[in-house]
Chain A
Amino acid sequence: MIYLDHSATTAVDPRVLEAMAPFWTEAYGNPSSIYGLGRRAAAAVEAARAQVAGVLNCRPAEIVFTGCGTESDNLALRGVGLAQAARGRRHLITTPIEHHAVLHTAADLAEHFDFEVTTLAVDRAGLVDPAAVAAAIRPDTALISVMYANNEVGTVEPLAEIGAIARQHGIPFHTDAVQAGGYLSLDVEALNVDLLALSAHKFHGPKGVGLLYVRQGTRLWPTQTGGGQERGRRAGTENVPHIVGLARALELAQADRTDENARLSALRERLAEGLCARIPDIALSGHPTHRLPGHLSLVIQGAEAEGLLIGLDLAGVAASSGSACASGSPTPSHVLTAMGFSPQEALGALRLTLGRANTETEVDYVVEKLPEIVARVRGMTR
């Protein structure tokens, strides 16, 4: 099987598994416990926090471990949003290409908590214009949320510029960095962000653990209360092995990223050129240069993605049509339609995302197979 869906999830790195191993049956203590077993677990969590803080260029105390990227986004929007609402600020600024973790949370705040949401336009490449962010700011703006890199089309947003604008106005700035975690700089100082969400399974860590960076001084109401873990910002017994795994995975991915990004970019170019040369009426979507290195997103006219994906699977290639969450649903991608693609075009969206294990041989196989599959799917009478 050729796995070309690294934006959906990734295999756990054996070195990550190894780091997690002691914390299941050996050092299984509850970090809140006073005895040695508990202290060892607590030390492991704090070491992981420090490791992550090193990558993000922040203080360890600014890291909140969560259960997944979606939870991190929820905590950012609800936690900051509701804290700001208490001070009379109920206006959110976001983009139409966010993950549903952000979009649906913003919609929920609007529906049940009287928030107003300004959804910024994006251009044909999926880029947000920082000037549009500045123009949307109001005295009651509570939070700005713009994703780092888009999951469906791979476009990387100009966070530093947007963050600078947010800072000038004293408005907290959140970014969903789930897709960027393994590939881009996460230096929160350089990015000018106040909140940043990550998910471990996107960078060869385990599923079921994420984090939210919360800049010191940012008002945040906990959305989950209980035993006061994570400095009261996310109650619940720490998931020690997963937290250790997240930190190790992040460290490994970030250490390798310069070389690996160059390799992935080259593979992506090979794949894109091969497919564009062999398939008529095909277009690349997303920004040509401001993008994730191994992320190729295509719009194949006159071919619905469902048939392409089944054809690819039968040929031994794992791919997706956009976000994994949306598959099986007939709705055209909200990302592509926001970028100005017609619903019909959006139904022909195909996402091939390369990662660590992929080789040139695999890319060449896909370049050979996909054109036949496209031709057959296009031949379907409707």
Chain B
Amino acid sequence: MSGGVDSSVAAALLVEQGYCVIGVMLRLWAENLTPQPPSLRGKGEARSPLFVGEGLGERLNRCCSLESVHDARAVADKLGIPFYVVNAERPFKEAVVDFFVAEYAAGRTPNPCLMCNRKIRFGYLLDYARTLGAAYLATGHYARVRRDAAGRYQLVRGTDRAKDQSYVLSVLGQAELAQALFPVGEYTKPQVRALAAERGLPTASRVESQDLCFVADGDYRRFLRDWAPKAVRPGPILDRQGRQLGTHRGLPFYTIGQRSGLGIAAPRPLYVLGLDVAHNAVVVGPADELGRDRLTTGPVNWISGQAPAGPFDAQVQIRYRATPAAATVTPLPAGRTEVRFAAPLRDIAPGQAAVFYDDQVCLGGGIIEGTHGWLGHRPATAPRIIE
């Protein structure tokens, strides 16, 4: 429970349906904890100087601030259910924050929410719920669970297409879905707000799923400078012929398809085509060199538990809020896939997930490893690009 509208309504609906509900908030790692007492000062990890003296008595992870703990506790009290703050700082730091930093350092654009759902919410917390004797883990996600004719669990987009969160749940498997409940997935956001209002529950949202809850000020570039200074070094901005056009501020400041912020005067607008980690270079080019129609993924999580036997057509989503694009997905050895789009996409970013859909049903997904299929000519002298 976050103290926001979605998880509060989820809990209320379950109580009304007769479930015995236990409210839990995860205490996640945050950049700055409450100020340490003098006797402990100097023993902890180095904190960002930006926050010294700020946030007195407040944790700055926006998923579990002191204020949201109070709100969630008040909701639990109103519903007459127990409420606990479960400490997941260490596993969250290791599985999500360290991963986030390492991915950026490797020139990729990670989605920490996917990792959090896999390792923390439906890993650590589901395990915790089982330990407490709970039969299900319910969250306020906008998604639905169905069973197909064979009895297998399916992950289905939320009724509210605009709020659908199946993308960040595409990491779940049969074992997790068998124990997952998404009570608000059946409703639209306005309906959920109305349900909350009728019950006297909070009607405001806490955080959106794509938010970086552990970055205290929401500025992930500042965060990376503080926590992975080696990954944020200035370097050359090159064109595809290897000519230096300018200097960039550090690879994490750039993502594929990005236009602004290059600080280069050019006759045609320039876009980020790729990041060359080996040379700490940003490679840029005109818009017509941007699109790619193929990508490969790492090992795919197939929600059904079974990899498809051969190529199939699907709608593929390459970012959390991206419009699904028609593509053919071809299984490769070692669980990987190649995805060939019907039309090229301009912003395929390695590190994000490619998530496959059959209409409303989420089939699973994998992390994008690379892209292929330049539309422009690739000169022989082009630097190697980690795409």
Which positions in A face B, CB cutoff 8 Å? Answer: 100, 103-104, 106-108, 110-111, 306-307, 310-311, 313-314, 328-330, 376-377, 379-382
Contacts and interface: CB of A to CB of B under 8 A. Distances in A.
A73 to B, nearest CB: 14
Contact of A310 (B37, B84, B90): B84
B132 interface: yes
A173 B38 CA distance: 24
Interface of A is mostly: helix
Interface string B83-120: 01111011100000000000000000000000000000
Given A328-B85, A330-B90, A110 B38 contact: yes
Given A306-B87, A310-B132, A382-B91, 18 more contacts: A100-B37, A104-B39, A106-B39, A107-B38, A108-B38, A110-B38, A111-B38, A313-B82, A314-B133, A328-B27, A328-B87, A329-B87, A330-B87, A330-B90, A376-B133, A379-B131, A380-B128, A381-B127
Given A328-B85, A380-B131, A314 B39 contact: no
Interface string B66-90: 0000000000000000101111011
Contacts of A107: 37-39
Contact of B82 (A100, A104, A314): A314
Contacts, number: 45
B22 interface: yes
B122 to A, nearest CB: 13
A377 B131 contact: yes
Contacts of B86: 306, 310
A104 B84 CA distance: 28
Nearest to B85: A328
Instruction: Please list the 3 inter-chain residue pairs (A to B) with the smallest Cβ-Cβ separation, ordered nearest first.
Output: A107-B39, A107-B38, A111-B38
Contact of A307 (B85, B90, B91, B131): B131
Contacts of B87: 306, 328-330
A314 B22 contact: yes
A91 B128 CA distance: 47
Contacts of B22: 314
Nearest to B88: A330
A346 to B, nearest CB: 14
A37 B314 CA distance: 85
Contacts of B85: 328
A45 B255 CA distance: 72
Contacts of A307: 128, 131-132
B39 A376 contact: no
Contacts of B37: 100, 104, 107
A377 B130 CA distance: 10
A138 B171 CA distance: 64
Contact of A314 (B27, B38, B132): B132
Contacts of A306: 86-87
A313 B81 CA distance: 12
A110 B82 CA distance: 42
A314 B90 CA distance: 25
Which of A100, A108, A314, A377: most chain B Cβ within 10 A?
A: A314
Contacts of B27: 328
A147 to B, nearest CB: 16
